Structure formats: C-alpha cells, structure tokens
A and B are shown apart, each in its own frame.
Chain A
Amino acid sequence: MKIVVCIKQVPENAQVAVSPQLTMVREGISLVINPADANALEAALQLKDRYDASVTVLSMGKPSAESMLRQLAPLGADRLVLVSDPAFSGSDTYATALVLSRAIRYLGGADMILCGRRAIDGETGQVGPEIAAMLDTPCITNCLGVSGIEDGTLSCTRLSERERQTVLACLPALLTVCEWINSPRLPSIFSLRHRADIPAELLTNRQLGIPEELCGLKGSPTQVKKMDVRRDESKNPSKYRDADQGAKAAAELIRRPAGGEAVS
C-alpha cells in the first residue's frame, strides 16, 4: 500500500507579511510543519506500523523547505518529495491542488492520500478535497482515525457538527485528519542514526509539465484584490471589578440576539 502525506509549511506564529502582489511573504519567517499535517503523517506512520505500506511525504514550497522534509525521514517516512518551481508561486488553493495532484500522478499515484484538515495560515481546508476531485478519488474530511483496511476498503471515523460517523470508503481515497487524533511521534536515537540520510527529491515543472497559464498566480482562478490589516488594538472592553455586576453585564450580552450584516 502506498500512502502519500501532503504537508505544508506555515509560519510558526501569527507574524505575516504581504508582498506587493498580495501574496504571502515566506522569506525570513520561521516556518514549521502545519500542525494538522503532522497528525496526518503520524496517522500514515501508524498505518505503516500495521500494514505493509510505504509513506511518501509530499510538500509544495520553496527550495528551503527541503530541510524540514529531511527531518521527517527519521520518523519513518520512506520517500520525501519537494515540489518547487518559481512558476508555482502565488498559487491559490485550486492551483496548489492542481500541482499536488499532478505530482501524485507523477509519483505513480497512491492508495491513500492523507492531509491535515486545514492549515493554520490560510485556514481554507480546500486543497485536500480539491486534490481528491482532481484525482477522482473519494474524500473523507475531518477524520478521527482509521480503524482498518480490508480488501481495498477503508473503515474510518469522522466528525460532523452533530455526529460521529463510521465511514467505509473504497481505496484509493483521500482523508483529511483532525489535529487531536494522535500525538506525532519523536524520532528515536536509533532512527536518527540510521534513517537520517534520505535526501528529498526535487520535482519541478520540468517533470510535471503543467502549462504555464495553469500555474501559480496566473493559473489561480481567485485573485486577491485588496488586503486590509485587521485592527488588533484593544477592543476597549467595559470593565467590571465585581463578579455580580460583571455577570449581569455578561448575561445581557449573551441574551442579545445574534448580530450580523443588516438585510439589504
């Protein structure tokens, strides 16, 4: 069984900068693995512990993402692939999913694709389902765990607003996982010594051959027209130094009907 885990690098904390093209500036910002993607990798490694599986880690990003990818080898990843090309910069979720789905095809496909349910920077949660549609595989979002795989059918649980569902899906399938389903493992000293030397393979558009007009900013159907810095000064709260008075004011606010945009 071949498992591909898609991983995104995200800024370590809330610091961001925006380029004149209104895309995110990633230079000079400390980047880490998106938390939910680390859980997706752990889920893949747990499947590898149970089944005969290989785990390929796939990331799209700047060449500098290679060092992050290499840190994943000692955890048990079998193959590390970085998709990087200047032509891909400025991609929206559609253009990103196009590159990743083409890369998965280029790598020979996968029986299972695991992604985090969303990234902490963009927070769209769209790339996973978009990859699934582009590869015409079923997509199960918000997974809480994989219970087993038998005869090409995967059994897993997922969370919706109101219920916990047990889902059967035909492989190949794409799963997006919740952050709290597992605790990502740490490398052992043994693995650090013996598995630390897997190089990351670089895939560029030379291999993928995506037409230029479908790449990056040009190939992105959505375009950011304007960006406003969100006011983050104090909301200047009404202050109460007495529990009873504070509770009274709080109750009043709670009882007030939900606000929103006025009906036009």
Chain B
Amino acid sequence: MNGAGREIWVLGETIGQTPCPHTLELIGKAAALAEQSGGAVFCLTDNLKKDACGLLFAAGCSRVFLYGAPWSEYVCSRILADYARQAVPDIILGSATVFGRSVMPQTAALLKTGLTADCTGLSMTEDGLLLQTRPAFGGNLTADILCARARPQMATVRPKIFPPPALDDQRSGEIVSIPRKDGMREPVRVVSRIPVPGQSNISEAEIIIAGGAGIGSKEGFSRLYELAHLLGGAVGASRAAVNAGYADSWAQIGLTGSTVRPRLYLAFGISGAVQHTAGMRSAGKVIAVNTDPRAPIFDYSDIAVIADWQETLDALLRELSD
C-alpha cells in the first residue's frame, strides 16, 4: 500500500448549502498536515452552492468533489468508499457529528481499514504516518494510535477541537462533480424532520449547564434553562437529580448516562461523585457552584464558587445580560 496517494480527504458537511464550521476546522487541520506530508487536501461534500466552495478553498483545500443533492449516510459512505478505492487517499478525516459518526465507520468497514474516533490531536510522525491521539477508557488515559498498514488512515474529530482556519480568499481550486448514481439502492429514507430546541442532544452540546440534587426541585431546574437559553447550551443532570425527578433521564450525565465533552461545563448543586465526573471529566472549562467547599466537583473545575447556586445563577444571568 506504500506509494499510495498523499492526498488528505475531508468529509464535508453542509448546513443551508454552506460548509459547516467544523468542516472548515478539519480542512485547516488537514492543510497543516499536508504541509508536512507534501500532499494535497480534497473535500468531498454534498448540496453546496458553487460559490460556497470558495470557502473550502480559502480554508486550504484544492479540490472539491461535489454531490449535487443532499446525500444520505448510506449513499455517502458508499460513494466515499468507491472514490477512495480508486484514488487511495492517505488519510480521510471526518467530523464526529451524528452524520460523521455514522458515515465514517461504515466507510472504514467497506474499505477494510481502521478508524479512530474522537481524536483530540492529529500529527504526522517522522515515518509519515498519521498519529492519532484520543481519550481512552472513560477518559482515564490518552492513547496514541497508528494505522500503519491499511489505507486510508481514518479519524473523526469533534467540532471545535481544532481552531477555525485562517481564510485566504486568494486560494482557489477545482470543483469536480460527483455524478448521481441512477438506480443506487437507497434503503433509508428520512420522512420527517422536527427541529429540536437548542441543543437538547447533550452528548453533542458545546455548552452544558448541569444541575444536581442541590437544585432541589423541578422548578429549580427550569431556572437552569434560562442560562442555557442565554448561552445556547443544553441542560444536563446528575443521576441524583434524575432519580429525584428534577430532570428527565435523557439529560443524565455520568457513567449510567451520557458522556459529554463540551467546551464549557457549568455545574450547579452537583457534588461530583465518580458516577458523575466520569461522564464530564473531559469537558473543557468547568465552572462549579456548590455550598460544600469539599465537593469533589471542584477538583474538576477551573472556577469554584462556594456559594448558593441560586444567588450565583442570578448574579451570572445579570453579568451576562449586561
């Protein structure tokens, strides 16, 4: 497999016929890797206005393979695998979104290659391999992973792990249409889409406002929604809060709930038992509010507010509304 193309491909995602920010982040990262490996960055994407391709070029890719209509996960993974079988790119990167988490493993399996999920670091080794770093075993460890023999080397990255790239309008590139395959099997059809408010899908949320038993009531939890609304975040809960009936079970964060890795985590009235911290220890910045100065949650926090959660919430809402 050595001597394969040095291309780095990025699986693009779009919203409203423009590239998603996380796609640009990946292209920026791919361009930095390509500089080291001496390769080119291509993006395969769907349903994009032609002039929006300029954004992809400005972010650092030189060729866009464009599918004219929105593609399903099934069709996308089959086309991506077909194209990769012919061109044998060195690397394929995709976002760890609901879409990417479905398409990338399907594609990797079709290509009989490896895939590393949720990478927090990507770099090239001296041997020209993609070094993939990810949290392992519930966040206790970080693992450096290589895919030495099989090609392409594939990895997913959560949105906002890499910074938005500097956009250079001078860069241009080539647009290649991906022809629609007539008669291709389409075994999955989305027949209705209902928008969900804010980011109620907590495992994908970038900002989480979580409450624990200390919140004391369902009404108390509704106050957390005020802050979530203001910050564009989602509301999460500890097991204790769910068991007490203050919050729904889908909001539960921890070992028996969801594991989250938001950029920002605010914990109100959460003591921080292992049950809970195992689900949020990989969060970026953590702000915790608790009246108990010895609450274990503070060990996972950047800011510890040892005070009443309601007073602090009120003050915070005032600060942020200014």
Binding site for B on A (CB under 8 A): 11, 13-14, 16, 18, 22, 24, 35, 92-94, 97, 120-134, 137-142, 159-170, 173, 178-180, 183, 220-230, 232-235, 237-244, 246-251, 253-254, 258-264
**B69 at interface by CB-CB < 8 Å:** no
User: What residues of A have a CB within 8 angstroms of the CB of B314 in the complex?
Assistant: 243
Please tell me if B28 contacts chain A, counting CB pairs below 8 Å. yes
A140-B188 Cα distance, complex, nearest whole Å? 8
> Are A164 and B193 closer than 8 Å at their CB atoms?
yes
Contact B116 A222 (CB under 8 A): yes
29 contacts between A and B (CB under 8 A): A14-B255, A93-B117, A125-B105, A133-B106, A133-B110, A138-B74, A139-B102, A161-B98, A161-B201, A162-B195, A164-B195, A221-B113, A222-B116, A223-B148, A227-B143, A228-B141, A230-B135, A232-B140, A238-B304, A239-B298, A239-B306, A243-B311, A246-B315, A247-B318, A248-B315, A254-B320, A258-B263, A261-B162, A264-B32
CA distance A180 to B107 in the complex (A): 28
Nearest CB of A to B129, in Å: 9
B-to-A contact residues, CB < 8 Å:
28, 32, 73-74, 77, 97-99, 101-102, 104-110, 112-118, 121, 131-132, 135-150, 160-163, 165-166, 187-196, 199, 201, 204, 231, 248-250, 252, 255-259, 263-264, 266, 274-275, 278, 281, 284-289, 293, 298-308, 311-312, 314-316, 318-320
CB distance from B258 to the nearest CB of A (A): 7
Given A141-B102, A235-B299, A261-B163, A163:B195 Cβ within 8 A: yes
* Chain A positions within 8 Å of B315 at CB level: 243-244, 246-248
Of the candidates B121, B252, B315, the one having the most CB atoms from chain A within 10 angstroms of its own CB is B315
Which chain B residue shows the least CB distance to A38? B256
**A130/B263 contact (C-beta < 8 A), A160-B201, A227-B142 known:** no
In the complex, residue of chain B having the shortest beta-carbon distance to the beta carbon of A155: B191
Closest residue of B by beta carbon distance from A171: B187
Which residue of the partner chain B has the closest CB to A158? B98
Are B141 and A222 touching (Cβ within 8 A)? no
Q: Do B258 and A139 touch across chains, with their CB atoms under 8 A apart?
A: no
**A225 contacts across to B, CB distance below 8 A:** 131, 144-146
Closest to A169 in B: B188
Q: Which 9 A-B pairs have the closest CB atoms?
A: A221-B114, A246-B305, A247-B315, A180-B250, A222-B114, A133-B109, A251-B319, A243-B311, A124-B117
Q: How far is the CA of A239 from the CA of B145 in the complex (A)?
A: 37
In the bound assembly, the distance between CA atoms of A127 and B28 in angstroms comes to 29
Known pairs A14-B140, A224-B145, A234-B299 / 5 extra A-B pairs, C-beta < 8 Å: A14-B274, A94-B115, A141-B102, A225-B145, A259-B284
CB pair A16 B138 closer than 8 Å: yes
C-alpha spacing A235/B278, complex, angstroms = 15
Residues of chain A with a CB closer than 8 A to B298's CB: 234, 237, 239
Q: How far is the CA of A78 from the CA of B14 in the complex (A)?
A: 44
CB-based nearest A residue for B259 = A123
- Interchain CB contact under 8 A, B257 and A240: no
Contact, CB under 8 Å: B115 / A180: no
Residue among A233, A243, A251, A253 with max Cβ neighbours from chain B (10 Å): A243
